[in-house]
Homo-oligomer: A and B are copies of this chain.
C-alpha cells in the first residue's frame, strides 16, 4: 500500500534531476529509436487536462523537405525579430543558437484544439483558452521524459505560426503550441544557454513568492 503512494529516494531524485538538469538543446543531435520516441509521446499524452479534454495532437516530423520549409520559416522570422536589437545586444542575439530543426533527426509539433468535444466543456466556461494550458502540460511531460531518456529537446519559439500551420496542414481553428527538435546529445550544460551566454540571469525564488496576498514577501525576499 505504502509502495503505491511513495517514491523511493532514487525515484524521487530522478524527478528532481529531470526538472533541474533539463536544458534546451540546439545542436549535436543523434537518431532516436522508435521505442524511446513512443515512451516520450506516451508521457506527453498523460498530463492533466481541463475536464479530461485532451486537446493535444503531435505531428512527428522526420521528412527533410518539411523540416527545410520550417527552417526557412525560422530564418525569416528570426531576421525580422533581430531588428529590435542594436549594438552589443544585436551581436549577442546573432551569436545565439535558437533552433536545431535540421540538425535534429526528429521534430515534433504539438498543437491544441479549442473545439475538441472531449470533456463536455467542463472547466472551460470561465476561460475558453484554458485548453492551451493542458497542451503545454503535455509538452512539459515530453521535455522531462526526454531528459530522463538522455534525449535533448530544443523548443523553437521564433516561427511564423500561420505559415507553420500551412506547411504542416494543421486545421485553421487549431493553435500550434510548441515546435520541438529532438535527438540524443553529447552533453547537457550546467546552466541554461541564455544564462551562460549572458543574455539573461536567473531570478531568485524569493523574488517570485508571495504569502496569502500579492506583495507579501517571504523573509529575505526582494520587495
- Pairwise interchain contact B205-A42, C-beta atoms closer than 8 A: yes
A48 within 8 A of B: yes
| Distance of A149 Cα from B141 Cα, bound (Å) | 17
- Pairwise interchain contact A141-B19, C-beta atoms closer than 8 A: yes
Is chain A's interface secondary structure helix, strand, loop, or mixed overall?
mixed
CB contacts (< 8 Å) of A168 on chain B: these are 213-214
| Distance of A46 Cα from B199 Cα, bound (Å) | 17
- Pairwise interchain contact A133-B10, C-beta atoms closer than 8 A: no
CB contacts (< 8 Å) of A133 on chain B: these are 132, 136, 139, 177-178
How many A residues, CB 8 Å from partner? 105
8 Å CB contact of A7 from B14, B137, B177, B208: B14
A30 within 8 A of B: no
Bitwise interface map of A from 146 to 170 toward B, beta carbon under 8 Å scored 1, else 0: 0111100001011111000000111
- Pairwise interchain contact A56-B150, C-beta atoms closer than 8 A: no
- Pairwise interchain contact B4-A124, C-beta atoms closer than 8 A: no
Chain A positions within 8 Å of B, measured between CB atoms, are 4-8, 10-20, 22, 24, 39, 41-43, 45-48, 50-54, 56-63, 66, 77, 80-81, 84-85, 89, 93, 96, 98, 118-127, 130, 132-133, 136-137, 139-141, 143-145, 147-150, 155, 157-161, 168-171, 177-178, 187-188, 192, 194-195, 199-203, 205, 208-215
